[in-house]
Structure 1
Amino acid sequence: MSTDLRALTEMIIADHPVSEGDLRRAARGLGAETTSVLVDARARLDRLRARDRELSVLMSSLRELAEVRDLQPLLQKLVDRAHELMGTDLTYLSEYDEETDELFVRANRGALSANMRELRVPAGVGLASQVVRTRAPQWTAAYDVGSFPHDSEVTAAVRAEQMRSILGVPLIASERVLGVLFAADRSTHGFSTEQIALLTAFANQGAVILQTARLLAAEREAAARAEAASAEAERRAAAMEASASLHEQLTRLVLAGEGSDAIARVLADALGRPVAIADRELGALATSDEEAAAWWTAGRLSPGVLAAVEASRGTARWVDVGDGEVLGLVAAMAGRTLLGVLLVGGEPLDEVQRRTIERGAQSHALVTMQNDAVADAEERVRGELVADLVSERDDWASLRRRAQQRGVDLTGLWTPVLAVGWEQQRWNLTRALTGLDQRWLVAQHDAGVIALVPGELDPLDLAGRVHGRLAEAGDRGLVVVGGTHPVEQVPGEVVDVTALSRMLPGVGVADAGVAARDYAPYLALFGANGHRARAFARGLLAPLLEWDAAHRSDLVATLHAYLAQNASITRSADVLFVHANTVKQRLERITELLGPEWRRPEQQFRLGIAVQLLRMSETDM
C-alpha cells in the first residue's frame, strides 16, 4: 500500500490535534525510522504551538495587568491570570515583608475555605520561605507538612485546601523579593520544565508590574499626604490669622475698658460656641446665651467643672471637662490668685482655638485686675474719708467737701456697721460689704471692717441681714450695728460698737448679728473687757453652776425665771413648767449655796446681770 505523501504532510502541519496513531497509520509504507522522525517532528511542532499560545496569553495578560493601577486589584488580577495560564486547582500570591521575614496571602483563586484569606506565614515556615530564601522556584509533587518547618495556621490552611502538588516561584524586581506566586493541585503529580518556566516568566514580568504599581501607589500616597499637609498648613495659617485678629480685638476691649460681658460675646461670636465667664467665687459673671447660663444649677457649677477648675489653676491652661454641656475651661490667674474662669461648650476645639480661649482668659484677668485697681484706688480714697469721719481727724466742713468730690452726700442719718472675727481677709470683707450697696462707705477699721450706712434703718434687722450675707460663704463672725444718727454723732457710735465688738467674744458671743443698744448696759459696766464680765458672772454663779453640773438640776434657770418674774413663785413655775413647790425647793437650795444675802435687792441686781451674761454666751461657762 503506497503512502499519500500530500495527506501525510497536511496531517503533520495541521493546526488541530492529531493523535500519534493517526499519524503512524498515515505513514504506513514508510520505514520505521522515517515514521519515528515524522512523529517527533509533529510532537515538537505541537510543543512550539503550545508555547506560542502560552506566550501569547502571557503577553496579553501582562498588557492587561499593566493597565491596573490600584495595588489590591492588581494582586488579584495577577492571581487570576496565572490561574488561567497554569490551569491548576488553586493559585495564590503571598506578599513578602522584608522587616519581619513573613509572608501574607493577599489574593487567591480556587480556594475552598476561608483559611487562605490574609494567611500569615511566619519566617522560615513552609515551601514559601524556601522560595524567598533561595530566590528560585521550588516545587513538590506530594506536599508533606512534616517535610518543612510548619505553623499551625499554615498547616490548617494546607489541609483545608487538600493541596498536594505545589509550585512556587518568586516575584523579584530590582533585586528585591516582593512575594511568591503559587500554583497548586489537589492531586499528586510533577511539574514540567515548561510549566515551571512559564510561571517563572509570568512572575518575573508580574513583579515588574507590581513594583511599578507599588511605586505609583507610594507616589499617590505621598502626593495625597503633601496635599493634606498643604491644606492643613493653610487651615492652620487661617486659624492663626483669625486667632491673632481675635487677640487684637480682645486687647482693644481691655484697653477700651470693656467688661467681661464683651469678652464672652466676642469669643462666642468668633468660635460659634456658647461661652461663659465665672467670677472669683465661681458664680456666673457673664454668659453668651441661655445655654451657657444653664451651666449653673442653683448658682453652682457641677462637681466635674469644679474639679477641672482646680486642675487648670496650676497651669492657667485649657482643661477638658467632659461633664454635661461644658466642653472645657481655662482658669484666669494672676500668679496664684484665681480671678475667674472662662468656660466653653459645643464641639471639640483644635489646638489653635484652645490657645485662643487661653488668651480670652488672660484678657478677663487683665480686665479684672484693671477693675480691681480702680476699685482699690476708690476704696483707698473712701477708706481715708471713712477713717477721718469716724475719728474726727478733720473739721466737718472739710469732710463734707471731700465727700461731695466723691459723690457722697453726708446729710441725713447714718448707721455704723462693724464686722469683726471673720476668717476671710479684710479686703474680701470690704468688697462684700461694698457689694451689698454701692452707697455704703466702707473701710478697714480696728480689727475688722466698718460700713457707714445711709438712711433710717432698724439696727437689729440690718445686723441680721449683713451677718446672713457674709455667712453665705460658710464663714462665721460678728456683726455689731450702732444707732442711727446724723453724721456728726457717728464717731461716738463707732467708739461704742468697737468696744462692744471686743467685749462680746469674751462672753461667748462671737457669731451673731447684734444691735449695740441691746448690750449697752454691759458695756457701761465692764467696758470692752469681755473676759472680766465673763469672770464676774462665773464667779458669782459658781456654786449654782457646780451644783447643776453635779446633780443635773436647773438652779441657774430657776434663778433667772425667779428674777425675771419679779420674785413670783407662781409665775416662775409657769415659765419653767414645774410645780410651785419645786420652785420653792430649788430656791431653798439656792439659799443654802449662796447664803440668805442673795435675796437683798443689790445682790439680786448683780445676780440678774450675771445670769444675763451667762445666757448671752453660746457655750457653758
Structure 2
Amino acid sequence: MAQSEAGADGARDHGELVSYRLRRERELSSLYATARSLAALGEVGEVLATIVRHAHELIGSDIAYLSLLDAEGNLKLSASAGTISHEFSTAWMPPGGGLGARVIESRAPFWVSNYREAQVLSHRPVFDSLVPDEGLVALLGVPLLVGERVVGVLFAADRTERPFEKDEVALLSAFADHAAIALDNARLYEESRVSLRRLREAYRTIEEQVTSVERAAAVHEALTHVVLTGGGPGDIARLLVEHLRGTVTVLDRDDRIVAVRCAEGQPADPDREPVRELLEEARSTGRCASARGADGVVRSVAAVHAGGSHLGSLSLARSAAPDPADIRMLERAAQIMGLLVLMRDARVEAEERVRGELLTELLARAPLHPAHRERALARGVDVDHLDVLLVADCPGRPASDVVRRLNAVSPEWSGLAGEYLGRATMLLRAEDVEEAARALHQGLRRALGAPLLLVADRVTGEERSRSFSLAQRCVEVMRALGEEDRGATTRQYAMYALVFDPQRAHDLDRFLTDELGVLLDYDRRRATDLVATTAAYFAQSGNLRRTADALHVHMNTLLKRLHRIGVLLGEDWRSPDSALRLHLAVRLHQLRASLDRSASGPAG
C-alpha cells in the first residue's frame, strides 16, 4: 500500500514537472514572439501601446501600464491596458516616492501583494487617491533599462491581493528588456525621421533661394543618391568639390580627418588650426562659419549635428569667398552627413547588439538554439568552429569601449564579441591560441592607447562557460602577480591553475592543507602571523634583515617566529625540496586570497 502511494506521489510530481516545463516553454515562445513583433515596429506611440498590450497578455494580470521618466524625474503614464478610470490613465508620480521610485532606485523588480497596506513603500497622495477608483491591489514593477540608464517602469497589477511568483517576475523582466530595446530603437528611428524631415525642409529652402535651378537640382539629386546608395563621407566631399571647387575636408565626432577631396590642381589644405577655431563657432551657432586666413585662403566650416549630438564637421578651403548659395550647400551637406552618421551608428549598434546576444546565448546555454545558429551563419560565423575564448580587461576604459574594438576585428577572426557578465569577451577561430592572444592584445593596445590584460583559452567541446570562468579568473591572477599589459593564454599560467580553475579547488585545498595547514591552524588559534612571516621570508630570498624590515618587526621577534615555524613544520622546512613546496603553497594561498577579495568587491 505504501509503495502504491509513493508511486502515485511520484507520478503526480512528474506530471507537475512536465506541466511546469510545458508552461515555461509556452511562456518563452510567447516572449520570443512578442519580442519579434516589437522589433518590427517603428513609431514610438505604436511601440508603447504594443508593449502594454503584450505585457497584459503575457502575464495575464488585470492591468498593465508603462510609465516613462521625463527630464524632471517624474514618472508619467504613457500607455496602459485594462484600466477603467480616465484619471488613472493620465496619472503621474513625482520623484522619490511609490513603487516606481523603488524600482528606479534599485534597477531591479519589486512587488507588493497589497499596495494600500504596504509599509515598505513611501506612499504619495497624488497616486494613492487614484488607487480606489481603479481597484488596484497587487502591484509588480520592473525597470526598462537602456544600457545602464533607467528610462521607465513597466507595471503589472491585479485587483485582488496575491503574491507574484518568481517565474512571473522573471518573465516580465525579460519582456521589459526586449521592450526597452524596441522603445530605444523607435526613439532612434524617430530622431532619424525628424532629421530627415528637417533635411527635406532645408532642401526646399535651398531650392527656393539658389539662383541656379539646374545647379540646385543637380546637388539635390546627387545628395539624395548618396543617401539612397549608402554612400559615405568621401562621396559627399567629392560631390561638394564638383560644385564648389577648392578642398573639402570631413572630420568625425573626435575631430579626426576621415575624408579629403581636392579639385584638380588644388593642394590639400595644410593649415588645420583656423578650421578648429571656426569649428567652435559653427558648433556654438549651428551655422556655417567663414574666415580668410593670413595665407589668403577662405575657410568655411559647417558642424554636423543630429539629435543634439555633435557628429563631426565639413570644411571648405578655397581662394574665393563663398556666396550664400555655397554656404547653404555646405550646411545642407552637413545635415546629410548627420543623417548618414545616424544611419551608420544605428546599423552598427544593432549589429553589435545582435552579436552580443549571440555571444551571451553561446556562453549561457548549450546546445545553441537552431534560430540563433542561423543568425550567426548569416553573419559569417560558424559557431561549431569557435574554439577559442578570450577575455580583455582595460582598467582605464569601460568594457563597452573594448567590446567595440573587438567587434571591429571580429570578422577577420570569424568571431563574435560582446559584453558578458561585465567583461569584454570574444569567441573566435584560431589554430595557435598563443599567437592569437598576442596579435589581439597588440591590436587592442594600439586602438585603445592604454595598457590591458588579455587571456585566451582553448574551448573544449561546448564548455564555453567554463572557458570564460578560467579566462576571467586568470586575468585576476595576472593582475595579482603584477601584470598590467600582456596577452597570454590560460595554459601559460598553468602553474597557477589550481587557483583560477574552479574544478581544481579540491586539489588546491588539499595541497594547502598538506603544506600550510599546521601554520594556518596555529595562526587562527593564536592570532599570530606565521604564514605572513613565511611569505615575507621567501619574498626576501631568506635574507633575515630584509625580512624583518619588510615585516616591520625586531630581529629577535623574527627569529622567534622562524623557530616556531621550524617546531611546527620540522627543522628541515628550509631544505630545497621542502622550501620549494612551502613557497609555492604560500604564493597560491596569497593569490587565492586576492581572488576572493576581488570576487567579494563591487563589480567592475
Structure 1 length as normaliser, TM-score? 0.45
Larger Rg: 1
